[in-house]
Amino acid sequence: MGLLVDGEWRDGWYDTAKTGGRFVRTESTFRRWVRADPAAPFPAAAGRYHLYVSLACPWAHRVLLVRKLKRLEGIIGLSVVSPLWGAQGWTFAGAPTGADALLGIEHLHELYTRADPAFTGRVTVPALWDRERETIVNNESADLIRMLDREFDAFTDVRLDLYPEALRAEIDAINERVYAAINNGVYAAGFATTQAAYEEAYDRLFAALDAIEARLGERRYLCGARITEADWRLFTTLIRFDSVYYLHFKCNARRLVDYPNLWGYTRELYQRPGVAATVDLEQCKRHYYGSHASLNPKGLIPKGPVLDLSGAHGRERLPAASA
């Protein structure tokens, strides 16, 4: 995984010795906001911002999804790192140019040191780069999906409103539970280094999935009849579950396909216009199975599973708001 310390790259995995074997994710560092206001320090503008993502990463996938759903592809540029981590972390090795087409960098940590030559911390995706001020604006996916949803409306006809005011309290509560137990929960299980820490994360994960399975038996989406950001935040973990987390992270109590409501829900979201184009499960498998040598020393990548994501989802029985 590696990290920067005072601007110098160091290759190193997560240290769980001080946390009882528990994986603890570090907080995102860059938390500035793009605003629709032209007078803002980072005003929304066409062609000014550039998004760095991995197609394998569920956090980056959230932002890629909203960029697609909002039809902002021509407004916000995009660079995609290689699915494989190396000794230098996220890299552009394997791309046709061998370097990022925008800045000519070979490794993502170079983006971080351009923003802050003395940066200390993990180098993560997604990251939103400001071409004018030559800095990273924000590298927190939860912030970025709200920016893309609301602050760039002047440049697109699409109105999603994934965080409607009337549902914000409910969305926030769901996001908090889903993040802790599911989004980050699969990593807490997969990266645990003691049996107790692993079982703690495992039990919390499946208790949460069981609860959401029951919830989705009564409502079309997490907050009722309309899709919100809570659904897309959950979706990017669910779509990877059977291909990666079930086996690679030992989250093997049940597969996603064993949950009728969750599986139908995932297929329905996958079948929404534009969503499938953002999903690349082969890159996901290449990243996880090929990059985590401590979990998969030989780097062998499973051929399966075979998932029918285009089949009937059966969610029509529950009411949905009109688009």
Please choose, from the candidates 264, 254, 177, the residue with its C-alpha nearest in 3D space to the C-alpha of residue 219: 264
Burial 52-72 (b: 16+ CB within 10 A, else e): bbbbbbbbbbbbbbbbbbbeb
d(CA 65, CA 234): 12
Q: Which residue of the set 14, 57, 223, 265 is catalytic?
A: 57
223 annotated active-site: no
187 annotated active-site: yes
Please choose, from the candidates 66, 115, 20, 85, the residue with its C-alpha nearest in 3D space to the C-alpha of residue 286: 85
Q: Which residue of the set 187, 221, 270, 288 is catalytic?
A: 187
d(CA 135, CA 224): 39
Burial 95-127 (b: 16+ CB within 10 A, else e): eeeebbeebebbbbbbbbbebeeebebbbbbbb
Please choose, from the candidates 63, 77, 74, 50, the residue with its C-alpha nearest in 3D space to the C-alpha of residue 229: 63
Residues carrying an active site annotation: 57, 187
